[in-house]
Amino acid sequence: MTSNPTSTRLTLPGYRRDHEDADPPLDSPEYRSTRLRAPKRPLILLPHLLTEVTGPLLGHERVGPTDHDLTRQHEGEPQGQRIIVHGRVLDGDGRPVPETLIEIWQANAGGRYRHANDNWPCPLDPNFTGVGRTMTDNDGRYEFVTIKPGAYPWKNHDNAWRPAHIHFSLFGRAFTQRLVTQMYFPDDPLFFQDPVLNSIPDPNARRRLISRFDHSRTRPEWALAFQFDIVLRGQLPTPVEEDHDDE
Amino acid sequence: MSELLAPTPSQTAGPFLHIGLLWDDGPDVVPEGTPGAIILTGRVFDGAGQPLADGLVETWQADPNGRFAHPDDPRGATDPPVPGFRGFGRCATDAEGRYTIRTVKPGPLPAPDGRTEAPHVNVSVFARGLLARVVTRLYFPDEGEANAADPVLTSIDDPAVRRTLIAGAEQGGYRFDIYLQGEKETAFFRV
């Protein structure tokens, strides 16, 4: 390596912080588990330096041939309503985010996760693991085939039920763009009492987590379809030059 | 310039994140047997002092030369000097709240204002009860001079808060405990 870190001139992309208008506050006491876990001190502003504007570019080696089709990972097919979940991953400037890893996990049709700590008395499905992975294509598009997850009860408050949801994890192209979220289904009657979705103060931001029924992508006599587009943070229009003394 | 799109909000990874996010080689930022490998380990605690037994810790860092194999490193992407170096690690916390990552120590990094960032590792924690990840930075205890000039560390006025970001030296690596709340609350960042 020939570069001397102190003599290299750098111009780095900066990322907008408008996600702060959308994200739920960490301190959201209606969601009981936040009470002992959400940090209490104000967060410290982290400038976007090299570690923040880069990120892991994980590739196809992380994705197996049936990872995008959760209905074909076992001998038989899982119970439940077969669905296609598709969409695009874009950045806040409307540019597609290509070749980025998406990981999903979800409960089975009865609302039970294949997880040692899930003891909700609903049977596991021997033909459903509930885990998927895929890479976006060059246009940022992705598609999963799965079954619609069930709602399930939890102990957050009296008679609490989580609306049906699929967990999504995305890397984007930079540390700043890392996102873990949940996709919901349209018109779920359980939304009103869910402190996780409702921890997002802005109703428009909440709506961005609700997928759209997409009749055009249903497969006749096979599967329903839902569209879920995901927007990762966009870049600031002009990279900041803080030091011009050698120009 | 196209129309700005509003970002998709974050939601908690929940208590069952393990089925979706764990990889067999997740904790291996470098492969087993890498010369000069170090272990970064620590425990994560909640506000009652209880270990966080169902969380996930992720790390992201430069290679030992302070470079990233990434197109937005304006010095140009380079192949890492350590074979198999991934820069990225992830490890679930166990019943004791402990995570363990095998890596190599990152190098110092140039900053756009001409200053130099001390060697550091960005650390994210995901868990039930965290509606978005929390982000902190691990700095090294044997980099006193570099730490004293680091633009992020020096932006923190309170030395007690600054100290929460300095790992402890241990046999074979470093220990970095994370306190989500309480007297010892770790410094967390707005990214």
Q: What tokens appear for A196 in the block?
A: 């996780």
- Whether residue B38 is contained in a domain is answered as yes
Give, in words, the CATH class of A19-38+53-232: mainly beta
**pLDDT, position A242:** 54
Q: Across residues B108-134, what is the average pLDDT?
A: 97
Q: Across residues B95-103, what is the average pLDDT?
A: 98
Substitution target from B1, B3, B5 for chain A, most A beta carbons within 10 A: B5
CATH of the domain at B151: 2.60.130.10
Q: What are the angstrom distances between the C-alpha of A193 and each of A31, A113, A185, B35?
A: 11, 21, 15, 53
Nearest CA in chain B to A180: B10
Q: How many CB pairs under 8 A join A and B?
A: 274
Residue B76 banded pLDDT, cuts 50, 70, 90:
confident
- Number of residues written out for chain A: 247
Domain with B155, as residue range(s), is 17-179
B47, pLDDT greater than 50: yes
Contacts of A31 in chain B (CB under 8 A): 12, 129, 131
**pLDDT, position A221:** 97
Q: Across residues B132-143, what is the average pLDDT?
A: 98
pLDDT, one tens digit per residue, over B13-38 is 999 999 999 999 999 999 999 999 99
Residues of chain A with pLDDT under 50: 1-7, 246-247
Domains of chain A, by residue range, sit at: 19-38+53-232
**pLDDT, position A10:** 86
Q: Which of A18, A51, A115 sits opposite B109 (nearest CB)?
A: A51
| CB-based contact, B132 to chain A, within 8 Å | yes
Query: Is the pLDDT higher at B113 or at A238?
Result: B113
Give how many domains chain B has, as a whole number: 1
ipTM higher than the 0.90 cut = yes
Question: Strands A44-45, B189-190: parallel, antiparallel or unpaired by DSSP?
Answer: parallel
Nearest CA in chain A to B133: A180
- Whether residue B191 is contained in a domain is answered as no
**pLDDT, position A217:** 98
Residues 6+ apart with CB under 8 A from B120: A51, B61, B106, B137, B138, B139, B140, B150, B152
| CB-based contact, B150 to chain A, within 8 Å | no
**pLDDT, position B2:** 57
How close B101 comes to chain A (CA, Å)? 16
Q: Which residues of A are part of the catalytic machinery?
A: 113, 152, 162, 165, 167
Prediction pTM value:
0.95
Cβ atoms < 10 Å from Cβ of B58: 24
- Nearest-angstrom CA–CA distance, B15 and B173: 29
**pLDDT, position A160:** 98
Q: Please report, rounded to a whole number, the percentage of residues in chain B having pLDDT higher than 70.
A: 99
**pLDDT, position B80:** 80
**pLDDT, position A4:** 47
- Nearest-angstrom CA–CA distance, A220 and A217: 9
| CB-based contact, B144 to chain A, within 8 Å | no
Residue B123 banded pLDDT, cuts 50, 70, 90:
very high
Contacts of B17 in chain A (CB under 8 A): 105, 167, 180
